[in-house]
Amino acid sequence: MPSKTATSGSRLDVRKTYKLFIGGKFPRSESGRSYVVSDARGHFLANAAAASRKDARDAVAAARKAFPAWSGVTAYNRGQVLYRVAEVLEGRRDQFVAEVASGEGTTSARAAHAVDMAVDRLVWYAGWADKVAQVVGSTNPVAGPYFDFSVPEPTGVVAVLAPQESSLLGLVSVIAPVIVTGNTVVVAASRDRPLPAITLSEVLATSDVPGGVVNILTGSVGETAPWLASHMDVNGIDLTGAAGDTEHAVELELAAVENLKRVRRAPATEPDWTGDPGLGRLTQFLETKTVWHPIGL
């Protein structure tokens, strides 16, 4: 007979095993593997799926499938979608605060501040959706009867190594600028602090983000990142999550060379996510197309 029952005034915890987020769905890892996620004190929190290289390929395929439609919607609509993500995230604020506090080993007050900043960061990027083209695009003076325009366009499928320390604010800060400019993304989440990324995937699935625009892999970055870096259908890679690991970052840069991916290099240390984000991440994965058009036609 069980020592704890629901009728005896105490109950057993439900030990959760979370899945991946690929193509708007929540599949188990192709490998069938999972790993234990612990809090900052080493106490059990949950089990998370350990993504394999096959899962990484499936995520890239889902991102590529979603790219034409996502890049084709208006910038204003993408801003609306990102704003909706902020709304849904704020509605689950208490859960995010608990996950950030337990995973990062910080106080509830600091975790709450990080969650609030993550919501504000989403709103900030949403506001830039239909403005970035005006800032970085241009009408060029030419010596002839032509209009000449330079217009930014999304790069395509972008792989992102999420920050390993800042489990929510850093995560939002690397995903939002990629998707609001029309790219689709495959994210390798923090291995040791994946719960905010997992909960964010639930937020994305219940907001207006089309399936495949954001795909989230949990597990060892060392296992999935090399395949994302060398994948011929990945157009860019953000190595922020490799901060401080120079040897690994260089290996990934070399793997990205073969199909000339656009690479955001790994910083020496993880950035201070509380500062002004600037426009660098918005423009990192944009390409500039110059169009000539005869005047009078």
Q: What is the pLDDT of residues 40-74, one digit of tens each?
A: 999 999 999 999 999 999 999 999 999 999 999 99
The amino acid at residue 136 is: V
pLDDT of amino acid 63: 98
Tokens of 273: 């996510």
- Residue of 251, 285, 72 lying closest to 177 (CA atoms): 285
104, 169 contact by CB (below 8 A): no
By CB atoms closer than 10 A (0-12, 13-18, 19+), residue 230 is middle
Is the pLDDT assigned to residue 2 strictly greater than 50? no
The predicted model scores a pTM of 0.92
Mean pLDDT of 129-140: 90
97-108 pLDDT per residue, tens: 999 999 999 999
Beta bridge partners of 290: 150
Average pLDDT, the chain: 93
Can you tell me the distance from the alpha carbon of 65 to that of 77, in angstroms, rounded to the nearest whole number?
A: 19
Residue type, 212: G
| 85-128 tens-digit pLDDT | 999 999 999 999 999 999 999 999 999 999 999 999 999 999 99
What lies within 8 Å, CB to CB, of 233 at 6+ separation is: 60, 61, 64, 157
| Structural domains in the chain plus CATH codes | 18-294 (3.40.605.10)
pLDDT above 70 covers a percentage of the chain that reads: 97
Q: What is the pLDDT of residue 5?
A: 47
CA atoms of 105 and 219, how far apart (whole Å) = 20
Do the Cβ atoms of 105 and 39 come closer than 8 Å? yes
Q: Given pLDDT bands bounded at 50, 70 and 90, which one contains residue 3?
A: very low
pLDDT digits (tens, 9 = 90+) for 193-212: 999 999 999 999 999 999 99
What's residue 175's pLDDT?
98
pLDDT of amino acid 215: 98
**pLDDT at res. 252:** 96
Please, are residues 37 and 45 in contact by the beta-carbon 8 Å criterion?
A: yes
Q: Are 290 and 148 in contact (CB under 8 A)?
A: yes
